[in-house]
């Protein structure tokens, strides 16, 4: 079986297992998510067999625009994130055999490993590569490397800084993005047989994306409830970026928001019945264990994950507050990349973190630092300092791995989480004493 067929079987087993023995702490909508993933891979298999074009992507690629050209966006980054645990050792062995360093971010290593899977016929050979150089240089370079190795047309979008600059420069940045996206359209139409830009389709996908973001707003609102109606594991769950906003995806997020609101109104928590404190996770978390359980066992809720569902505000199609007028479909696609909190100066990211810290009333932040991550590690200490200074929020900085279980010490990780929980409780007690004086 190829990679996609393996995934189809894996999700079939997972759905059967959950339906046979549902967890009382997990969302029932998780079944919908796995059904969505199952259908996603089944569709990918069908399109692969039919010879439809695939585009290898990563980072802030214009996924909706690519699909609106009749090309299937296939995120090597997302596929790397979803690597089944049993495949990780072999995929890492392959990419490291090329000389790829093993001491850097293992998300980048996983992304790069999809190149070897392509060469072995386990995943589709892309007709083209599109990547936006923005928040993660490592991921972008891994995809560019893949395009060169496979000798397929490769288009790299340069995403300028547009935060904390004068209004005129923000417009200049947006127009620069628009010019590149139009140029990309011409490039792909020339290089990929059958590719043709359909503006109506792009508008449809942009509206779908906005509908998904509206559900994320509902999820963040429900996360304010104590105890948290979402388990940490569910806060970490999100659909792949290349799963474009089709009706089933919107239905899934509606179900999640509905469940959270129902629990919120009933005063029911997910994994924590009596919530003594709450924290947010920044950057990432281990993929091979439930990295939140050690906090939850102590009575600490984990309502939000920085890159997960409900954490980040995106510009609305009808929102004129940022740009002074409604944006065209191509402009809006470019604006999404410019708005990403991970792209830009560190205080751009800090403002996004501060917003959900205040809205969800967090007591602490866990900074899960991936070795070599320029975006996170370069700003962790600054954000931790600001969180402590401005909001009185405690911080735990911990280096870890997403995939590489051999380098991960779970006992040490668990001890740090429990010690952090104890620190949060002690600080809350001290604050209560100060407030009663």
The string of pLDDT tens digits covering residues 172-194 is 999 999 999 999 999 999 999 99
Q: pLDDT tens digit string along 98-141?
A: 998 888 899 999 999 999 999 999 999 999 999 998 878 888 99
| Number of domains forming the structure of the chain | 2
Residue 228 inside a domain? The answer is: no
167 and 273 housed in the same domain:
no
Question: What was the pLDDT predicted at 317?
Answer: 56
**Mean pLDDT of the 212-240 span:** 89
What confidence tens digit (pLDDT) does each residue in 263-314 have? 999 999 888 889 999 999 999 999 999 999 999 999 999 998 988 877 776 6
Which residue, 146, 175, 201, sits at the end of a domain? 201
User: Which residues span the domain enclosing 354?
Assistant: 268-436
Nearest to residue 279, comparing CAs of 300, 309, 260?
Answer: 300
Q: Are residues 300 and 413 in the same domain?
A: yes
Find how far residue 237's CA is from the centre of its chain.
Answer: 9
Give the residue from 150, 180, 201 where a domain finishes: 201
- CA atoms lying within 13 Å on the CB side of residue 257: 19
- Regarding whether 278 and 155 lie in a shared domain, the answer is no
Structural domain includes residue 140: yes
In a domain, 243, yes or no: no
Q: Do 182 and 288 lie in a common domain?
A: no
> Based on the domain organization, do 56 and 190 belong to the same domain?
yes
pLDDT in tens, 25-52: 788 899 999 999 999 999 999 999 999 9
Q: Does the structure show a pLDDT above 80 at 166?
A: no
The residue that leads in pLDDT, 434 or 372, is 372
Clarify whether residues 75 and 161 are in a common domain.
yes
In a shared domain, residues 388 and 282:
yes
pLDDT at 168: 66
Q: Is residue 261 part of a domain?
A: no
Does residue 173 share a domain with residue 315? no
Task: Give the number of other Cβ atoms within 10 Å of residue 418's Cβ.
Answer: 15
Residue 221 included in any domain = no
Q: Do the domain assignments include residue 226?
A: no
- Residue 305: enclosing H or E segment and its boundaries? strand 300-305
Left, alpha or beta for 324 (phi > 0: left; psi -120 to 50: alpha)? left
Give every CB contact of residue 321 below 8 A, 6+ residues apart in sequence.
none
- What is the pTM assigned to this prediction? 0.93
Residues 313, 414, single domain; the answer is yes
- Of the residues 153, 176, 201, the one at which a domain ends: 201
Which residue, 273, 238, 264, 236, is CA-closest to 252?
A: 238
**What pLDDT is attached to residue 430?**
81
The CATH number of residue 307's host domain is 3.40.50.11900
CATH, residue 52: 3.40.50.11890
User: Is residue 262 assigned to a domain?
Assistant: no
Return the pLDDT at 237.
81
> According to the model, what pLDDT value does residue 376 have?
81
Strand partners, 29: none
* Residue 227 forms part of a structural domain: no
Residue 156: beta bridge partners? 131
Q: Quick one: what percent of the chain has pLDDT higher than 70?
A: 95
- pLDDT tens for residues 139-158? 899 999 999 999 999 999 99
Residue 14 has pLDDT above 90, yes or no: yes
- State the pLDDT at residue 235: 84
pLDDT tens digits along 405-434:
999 999 999 999 999 999 999 998 887 666
**Rounded CA separation 300/35 (Å):** 30
Q: Are residues 146 and 290 in the same domain?
A: no
Q: Is the pLDDT of residue 7 over 60?
A: yes
pLDDT at 203 (0 to 100): 94
Residue owning tokens 């909706």: 64
Q: Which pLDDT band holds residue 436 (cuts at 50, 70, 90)?
A: low
Q: Are residues 167 and 287 in the same domain?
A: no
């Amino acid at each position: 079986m190829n990679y996609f067929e393996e995934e189809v079987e894996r999700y079939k087993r997972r759905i059967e297992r959950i339906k046979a023995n549902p967890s009382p702490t997990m969302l029932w909508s998780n079944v919908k998510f796995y059904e969505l993933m199952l259908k996603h891979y089944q569709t990918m298999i069908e399109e692969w067999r039919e010879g439809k074009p695939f585009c290898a992507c990563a980072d802030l690629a214009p996924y909706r625009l690519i699909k609106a050209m009749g090309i299937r966006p296939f995120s090597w980054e997302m596929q790397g994130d979803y690597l089944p645990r049993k495949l990780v050792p072999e995929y890492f062995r392959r990419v490291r055999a090329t000389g790829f360093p093993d001491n850097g971010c293992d998300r980048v290593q996983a992304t790069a490993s999809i190149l070897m899977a392509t060469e072995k016929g386990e995943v589709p050979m892309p007709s083209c590569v599109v990547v936006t150089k923005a928040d993660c240089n490592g991921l972008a370079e891994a995809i560019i490397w893949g395009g060169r190795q496979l000798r397929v047309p490769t288009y790299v979008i340069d995403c300028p800084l547009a935060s904390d600059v004068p209004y005129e420069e923000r417009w200049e940045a947006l127009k620069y993005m628009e010019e590149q996206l139009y140029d990309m359209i011409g490039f792909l139409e020339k290089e990929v047989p059958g590719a043709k830009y359909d503006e109506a389709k792009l508008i449809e996908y942009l509206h779908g994306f906005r509908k998904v973001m509206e559900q994320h707003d509902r999820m963040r609102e429900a996360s304010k409830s104590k105890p948290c109606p979402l388990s940490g594991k569910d806060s970490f769950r999100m659909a792949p970026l290349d799963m474009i906003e089709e009706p089933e995806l919107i239905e899934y997020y509606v179900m999640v928001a509905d469940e959270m609101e129902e629990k919120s109104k009933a005063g029911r928590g997910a994994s924590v019945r009596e919530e003594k404190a709450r924290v947010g996770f920044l950057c990432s978390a281990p993929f091979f264990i439930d990295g939140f359980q050690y906090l939850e066992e102590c009575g600490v809720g984990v309502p939000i994950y920085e890159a997960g569902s409900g954490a980040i505000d995106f510009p609305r199609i009808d929102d004129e507050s940022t740009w002074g007028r409604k944006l065209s479909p191509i402009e809006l696609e470019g604006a999404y990349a410019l708005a990403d909190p991970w792209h830009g100066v560190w205080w751009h990211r800090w403002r996004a973190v501060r917003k959900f810290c205040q809205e969800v009333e967090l007591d602490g932040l866990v900074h899960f630092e991936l070795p070599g991550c320029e975006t996170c590690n370069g700003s962790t200490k600054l954000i931790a300092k600001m969180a402590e200074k401005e909001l009185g929020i405690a911080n735990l900085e911990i280096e870890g791995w997403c995939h590489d279980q051999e380098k991960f010490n779970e006992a040490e990780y668990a001890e740090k989480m429990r010690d952090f929980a104890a620190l949060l409780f002690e600080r809350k007690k001290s604050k209560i004493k100060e407030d009663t004086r």
